[in-house]
Amino acid sequence: MRYVYQAVERIPKPLSEGVVYHSREFEVGALLCACGCGHRVSLLVPDSHQIESEGGMATIRPSISVCDAPCKSHYFISAGRVEWLPAFSASLAAATMRSQIARHASRDVKPLSRMQRLWAAIVKAYTKFRAALGI
């Protein structure tokens, strides 16, 4: 199977096999997993992946690691061709998921306010104090 590149405004609900959909407007890409499991792979473009058309065939960089489906597939798509990479182990896949979630979450983290820092210092001091007294 080879993946063709298809620029779309919105990612369609039912995806066709062998098509990499790319919405520049919404900065997302989507395809059905290359292993045939039917899992819908979503890509954040350009944050996590780059999608390009090479003569109408899709090229995706970096590799796609399917962490959120049982297949745990891992592959490159180059000019429409799937290049398989060693499958992620469950633990590695979980770690990758966690780091991705952490990366997303860290964007939303606001610096602590002065009150929050003060409160944290008080709690810390109090905890130390209690520990010192053995209570």
Residue ranges in contact with Zn ion by CB under 5 A: 33, 35, 37, 39, 71, 73
Give whichever of 37 and 125 is closer to Zn ion, judged by the CB atom: 37
Q: CB atoms < 10 A from the CB of 27, how many?
A: 12
Residue 7 to residues 44, 48, 52, 108, 115, Cα–Cα distance (Å)? 14, 18, 10, 30, 48
Give whichever of 28 and 35 is closer to Zn ion, judged by the CB atom: 35
Give whichever of 89 and 127 is closer to Zn ion, judged by the CB atom: 89
Alpha helices in 31-113 (DSSP H): 90-108
DSSP element (H, E) containing 89: none
Nearest approach, Cβ of residue 33 and Zn ion (Å): 3
Nearest approach, Cβ of residue 70 and Zn ion (Å): 8
Nearest approach, Cβ of residue 36 and Zn ion (Å): 7
> Going by DSSP bridges, is the β-strand pair 4-7/19-23 parallel, antiparallel, or unpaired?
parallel
Give whichever of 46 and 70 is closer to Zn ion, judged by the CB atom: 70
Nearest approach, Cβ of residue 79 and Zn ion (Å): 21
CA distance 101 to 123: 28
